[in-house]
Amino acid sequence: MEMFEINGEEHELKLTLKSVMYLNGLHEGGGFVLIQKALSGDIDTFISIVYAGLFHTDKGFKRKDVEQAIEKGIAEETVDLDYINRISYGVVAESFFYKKTVEKLFSEDPEAKKQIENLMK
């Protein structure tokens, strides 16, 4: 379970149907491209993952709110590439919805999967 602080409160980042639809609609190629971008530490995708992961809170967060929280974290040196990788991997690659696909992508190269997991944790 990954958490994210926004407006002084910590919230669980959780995927729902609405958030999966949003994330899969971001890129041509849907979930496969999302997984690739999540594993690569793409900052724009990270913002989208956090934003979508907050949908379940029903607090009406805007993408701009997430961007401001991340900008603050970078300024305060609490959000770095390692943090982005860990959160993105946890929310996407370890989620029930995407996990089997991620495992299939790495099934031919278990060493690569192990290296990715070490990097992302």
What is residue 46's predicted lDDT score, i.e. its pLDDT?
Answer: 97
CA distance 73 to 118: 23
What is residue 105's predicted lDDT score, i.e. its pLDDT?
Answer: 85
Q: Is 64 exposed, middle or buried (0-12, 13-18, 19+ CB in 10 A)?
A: exposed
What is residue 84's predicted lDDT score, i.e. its pLDDT?
Answer: 96
Residue-wise pLDDT for 28-75, tens only, equals 988 999 999 999 989 999 999 999 999 999 899 999 999 999 999 999
Q: Rg (Cα) of the chain, in Å, rounded?
A: 14
CA distance 30 to 7: 30
Q: Which comes out higher in pLDDT, residue 2 or 121?
A: 2
- For 2-67, the DSSP string reads EEEEETTEEEEE---HHHHHHHHTSSTTHHHHHHHHHHHT-HHHHHHHHHHHTGGG-S---HHHHH
Per-residue pLDDT band for 16 (boundaries 50, 70, 90) equals very high
Contact 26, 45 (CB under 8 A): yes
Residue-wise pLDDT for 68-120, tens only, equals 999 999 999 999 999 999 999 999 999 999 999 988 888 887 787 777 777 77
